[in-house]
Structure 1
Amino acid sequence: MAYTEDKHRANVLAEYLHLDKTTCSRENTFRTILDRFSKLDDVRKAIEATGVRECGIIFGIDYSKSNETQGAKTFQGQCLHAVKGKHNPYKEVICILGECIEELDDDGFIPVYGFGASGCDLFPLDKEKECKGFTEVLDAYERATSDVALGGATSMAPLIDKAVDIVKNTNKYHILVICSTGQLTCEKETVVAIVAASSYPLSIIVMGVGDGPWERMRHFDDQLPQRKFDNFQFVDFHCIKDTSRNPQAAVALAALMEIPDQYQYIRDLKLLEKMSKKSEGRN
């Protein structure tokens, strides 16, 4: 019987439910990627040195109800999605990452999705087209947010699965940026999706906005030894922004920190080649 993706996901979930999360099995080759850069220019040079030539960007925004309370300490008690007046945390992340990540996107088009909204697990912020650059990402966010009803259940799985589909359809390395409060109600689904995504040329960056706590996001970052490689980077947006002399550079550095090593793992594991062969077999 063929070893299907659904069967693999079921096995991952079974492992997650029973695995000692602080250890790796002897057979597993998973290694946590260490944060080893101190300057943004060094990360950029390392990304170039690893040979990243074709790269796509996917952006996801958390519309769960937790946004209403997660700004108690970090956003003067306001909802994190308050769109009137000054920049809210989501707008800040979009603007900061637009300056450092947009240059990696070879075609400039950025699919943007919302998740966690009431009655909708996943939806495009712009139903007419993909955004061209982060300026249009910001415009799409501002237009869509006032009409979105925040939801209760929260899972990153639909967004991660969608990103994997995009990677498969384009046969290209992608970076998925998820801006989120990190307060998941469907944690197991998200774990399975993260592990499954490690079989594809996809890096996941979670920009944590709001008050936290962030233990689960840090666990996803440094543990989950069932993964093929460490494909997940967590960034505590407010902590880094509020404790740095140059907040924009510090946030950008933290976001890109693991990209060079992740892409090297992708090359070593030949994930792009394997995906291309699967695509040829389907045609």
Structure 2
Amino acid sequence: MTFNPGSAAVPKTKIELSIECKNLENLDFTSLSDPLVVVRHRVSNTGPFIELGRTEQVKNDINPKFAKKFEYEYFFEIVQTIELEIFDIDFKHGSLNDQDYLGKAQMNIGEIVSAGSRGLTHKLKAKGKTLKGSITVRAEEIQPARDFFNFKMSLSGLKTSMFGGSRHFLEICRANEDGSFATVYRSKEQEGKSFSFNLDIGSRQLCNGDLQRTLELRLFKYKDNGHKLIGSKQSSGEDLKQSGKKFSLGYGTLSIDSVKHSQKFTFLDYIRGGMQMNFVVAIDFTGSNGAYQDPRSLHHCGQTPSQYYQATQSVGQVIQDYDTDKLYPVFGFGAKIPPSGNVSHMFPCNFNNQNPFVQGIDGILTTYYNCLPQIQFYGPTNFSPVINEVARMAADPGNLEKPVPDYFVLLIITDGIITDMDKTMEAIVNASGLPFSIIIVGVGDADFSAMDALDSDDRALRANGKTASRDIVQFVPFKQFDTSNRASQQLLAQHVLAEIPDQVTQFMFQNKKTPPPSY
């Protein structure tokens, strides 16, 4: 098969929405209603709903299942809302205003996805009143990229210089739409006439889920003054997964010695398989924030919500769609608390040690505000106690033994430099093998450069001779976002939560957790 650079379209991760209704109002006298659904979506919480499309008209059916599907680009990090309006079409060429109205519903895409194969059902409403009938929407991911490959490869026939010491390396690149290539893998340069190496890679990284997509294999001679391309060959993921396949690259030969193919399931698979996202909030009440009555304080509750409030609300509105019971523990740290006035590095903001849970995002925000006048801001800024506590929750044997364990997300909102950095790094490394992610939002104008060490995107975090099994931390400075409007708040949430889906799937893959067959 011939492959041309740029010939493959880059697939997008999309879901397909299927719609059905039950027990619609019958507004026709001599027959049943002839329903049609208009689907609209809102690109930002402040914008209007824009029409996405319409189903076909189903004649004489008050329990219609529509054949028309809607492809929708799904992002975990954004609250995406759709509005569905149902009409009884009596006048084929008339406008919607000429048709009988059967009601409407609004749904968040995250809630639809979380509902799994059963779909999300809402009662129909109009002008604030509940009408007869309901609508159900189901989501199914399309063009999934679940393939994962463990390659054993070798390069042979390599030339060495008369003095020895020549080094070579391999690059694998994938075609872009414009005909250019992007490097997706580069081997370590090695000496000798031949050498072997392993490549563990998912099809998402290799070819964005399309095994027919053009790849280019490139052999380089390593040179200090610029590497020399020895030879290249165009191929595809389908070619690479054939054990025993050989590719001539100039004077060298690349051999696919063996291939192990497995499935790396997607974030949506695990959500539909029953995984719950448990959201935990930890709030910095150290003295550097300033007394909450002071308008300059980061905790000040004036006409404009505090940065702590805004950060909690923005992130929580996304997470809540994936948490069925919507009960959240809320902790504080770095304050003197009642009744003794002792400093606490972790305390429930509702002061109930046996039950630190509150109901919903509004419950989190109310508990936060109620806590402010009851404590004295103090210090220091210690993260490790709350990290260890949430790690303890995630490590519960009853959780880890589940086919799909619950996944914990800890949101830490802070204004300052970590005091217990060494213990915090140790806690993160120890927790990296658990179903657990940490989001740190820095508020105010402090120097947060040390946070980059915790958000180890480039290299694994190390502490006390141990290396983290994966990156579980995402840090975002709040001041980069103007949250004066809802669109900016969504952008903050998108940036903060962008790494969570990959962190979830990485944990599940490392621990061989497979969603139930019904996913």
Amino acid at match of 2:379: G
Structure 2 distance, partners of 1:89, 1:204, is 19
Residue in structure 2 matching 1:56, options 266, 278, 283: 278
Deviation at 1:85, TM superposition (A): 3.6
Structure 1 distance, partners of 2:334, 2:453, is 21
Greater mean deviation of Cα atoms: 158-167 or 237-246? 237-246
Gap runs ≥5 in structure 1: 1-36, 274-283
Contact in 2 for aligned 1:57/1:176 (Cα 8 Å): yes
- Partner SS for 1:86: coil
Deviation at 1:269, TM superposition (A): 1.4
Q: Residues 124, 86 of structure 1: CA spacing in aligned structure 2 closer, same or farther, 3 A cutoff?
A: same
Contact in 2 for aligned 1:50/1:263 (Cα 8 Å): no
Contact in 2 for aligned 1:240/1:247 (Cα 8 Å): yes
Deviation at 1:163, TM superposition (A): 0.3
State the Cα deviation string for residues 185-208 of structure 1 (Å, max 9, x = none): 221111111111112110101111
Greater mean deviation of Cα atoms: 93-102 or 108-117? 93-102
Deviation at 1:122, TM superposition (A): 0.7
Gap runs ≥5 in structure 2: 1-12, 14-42, 44-72, 78-112, 114-140, 142-265, 337-342, 400-405, 515-519
- For residues 138-153 of structure 1, the aligned pairs below 5 Å read 138-153=365-380
1:120 aligns with 2:344: yes
Deviation at 1:255, TM superposition (A): 1.4
Residue in structure 1 matching 2:316, options 98, 101, 124: 98
Residue in structure 1 matching 2:498, options 228, 232, 257: 257
Poorly superposed stretches of 4+, deviation over 2 Å: 39-50, 83-86, 240-246
Of structures 1 and 2, the larger Rg is shown by 2
TM-score, length-scaled by structure 2: 0.41
Higher fraction of helix = 1
Structure 2 distance, partners of 1:59, 1:174, is 11
Q: Residues 143, 230 of structure 1: CA spacing in aligned structure 2 closer, same or farther, 3 A cutoff?
A: same
Amino acid at match of 1:79: S
Deviation at 1:173, TM superposition (A): 1.4
Percent identity for Structure 1 against Structure 2: 27
Q: Residues 176, 231 of structure 1: CA spacing in aligned structure 2 closer, same or farther, 3 A cutoff?
A: same
- For residues 199-218 of structure 1, the aligned pairs below 5 Å read 199-218=433-452
- Partner SS for 1:251: helix
Contact in 2 for aligned 1:203/1:232 (Cα 8 Å): yes
Q: Who is 1:167 aligned against?
A: 394
Structure 1 distance, partners of 2:277, 2:381, is 28
Q: Residues 140, 188 of structure 1: CA spacing in aligned structure 2 closer, same or farther, 3 A cutoff?
A: same
Q: Who is 1:14 aligned against?
A: none
Q: Who is 1:192 aligned against?
A: 426
- Partner SS for 2:297: coil
Q: Who is 1:278 aligned against?
A: none
Deviation at 1:83, TM superposition (A): 2.5
Contact in 1 for aligned 2:443/2:478 (Cα 8 Å): yes
Structure 1 distance, partners of 2:299, 2:329, is 20
- For residues 1-283 of structure 1, the aligned pairs below 5 Å read 41-43=74-76, 48-52=267-271, 53-68=275-290, 78-118=296-336, 119-128=343-352, 129=355, 130-169=357-396, 171=399, 172-222=406-456, 223=459, 224-225=461-462, 226-241=467-482, 246-270=487-511
Q: Residues 245, 142 of structure 1: CA spacing in aligned structure 2 closer, same or farther, 3 A cutoff?
A: closer
Contact in 2 for aligned 1:55/1:174 (Cα 8 Å): yes
Structure 2 distance, partners of 1:262, 1:221, is 12
